[in-house]
Structures are given as structure tokens and as C-alpha cells.
Amino acid sequence: MTPSITLLRPSLDWLPAYEDALVAGWSPNTDQDVSRDQLLQLRRNPRRFLDDLYHSPTLRLPDGREVRRLPAHDFWISDGDFCGRIGFRYQPGTEDLPPSAMGHVGYTIVPWKQRRGYATQALRLILPVARAEGFRRVLLTCDDDNEASQKVILANGGVADGQVPHPGRPGHVKLAFWVPTIPV
């Protein structure tokens, strides 16, 4: 049986475990390796790092542009140990997202906790959060060669909805899926 996970609100209590994952080389951001940069900031001022990570008014994109942060529900994933992160971001009252946001939900599992069903469970657990914000479905995108993420999305009822050009990998596309927030 797959061990079960819980979604935790990011907290100073769990920050040492997050730090250990960064030290081990995990990057919470899939589009660029941010582990070194985050470690520097975390060690400089843990409280400020955590606050900036989830509450700064703007975000810096991989291309250097600054965009406003969308409302979001961010979680860390735990099976007793730190396992990764998942977040749901949105614009209130609309399914639309600004061009800088490729989907409503993003997740990453630390490499040493992968292939245990955790991402599949985490996506299932965050869907009611989106539902509570009024969303009947959420948009997810993943790289065309990210077989694991496609399986996670399909296991949660994802319905393919075409593809969009990949912003950072020439020759690749992002596959788009809508995932219903009520189990099908």
C-alpha cells in the first residue's frame, strides 16, 4: 500500500527539513535550479526567506522579469519527512491566468521520495482547495517529455487540451490538461 502524505502550510518548524532538501541539491522550481540561491537567502534570514518565498508582492521569472504574485495556496508535502512542495495559484473569479503562469497547480517531489505515488496523492489533496476557491477545474501544464507528471495528471482525471510552446526549451512544448476538482 502507498504510504500516505499530508499537505502542510510552510512553516519555520519545517524549514530545517526544507533546507536539508536544498543542501541535497533539490530545486523546488522546475524551470530553473534555485537551490543554491535559496540556501543563501534561507541562511541569511530564515524568517524573511520564508516570508519572501510565499508572500512577496512580486516574483522574478527565469527570464529576469518581475511579475505580480497571484493569490495562492502553497503547501509542503510530508510523509513524516519533508517530501516536496505543491501550490495552487489563481486569479479570483476567472479560470484565466496571466501569460507568466503556465497553470494553476505546480509540484515537485524530492528525488529520494519519488515513485511512491506522492505527487499523485498531493494533486488529489489540493483539488478541494481549488474547489473551495470556486474552481470546477484547474489547468495544469507539463513538458512533453515529462512522463511522470503526465501520469500524475491523468491519474487525477486530467483531460488533454492541446499544447503551448515551451517558454524555455526550444523544440519542446508544454502539454495542457484540465483536471476536475470533483473526483470523476
Ligand X SMILES: CC(C)(COP(=O)(O)OP(=O)(O)OC[C@H]1O[C@@H](n2cnc3c(N)ncnc32)[C@H](O)[C@@H]1OP(=O)(O)O)[C@@H](O)C(=O)NCCC(=O)NCCS
Contacting ligand X (CB under 6 A), which of 15, 22, 75, 120?
120
3-state DSSP call for residue 73? Answer: strand
Give the angle subtended at the CA of 30 by the CAs of 139 and 27, to the nearest 5°. 140
Draw the binding track, 70-109, toward ligand X (x: CB under 6 A; -: no contact). Answer: -------------------------------------xxx
In the complex, minimum distance from the CB of residue 173 to ligand X, in angstroms, rounded to a whole number: 13
If the CB atoms of residues 90 and 107 are measured against ligand X, the closer one turns out to be 107
Minimum separation from the CB atom of position 124 to ligand X (A): 10
Task: Give the closest residue to 70 by CA, choosing from 163, 133, 153, 6.
Answer: 133
Residue 108 C-alpha from the chain's centroid = 6
172 forms part of the interface with ligand X (CB under 6 A)? no
The Cα–Cα gap between 73 and 58 comes to: 16
Which residues contact ligand X by CB under 6 A?
Answer: 30, 107-109, 114-120, 142, 146-149, 151-152, 155
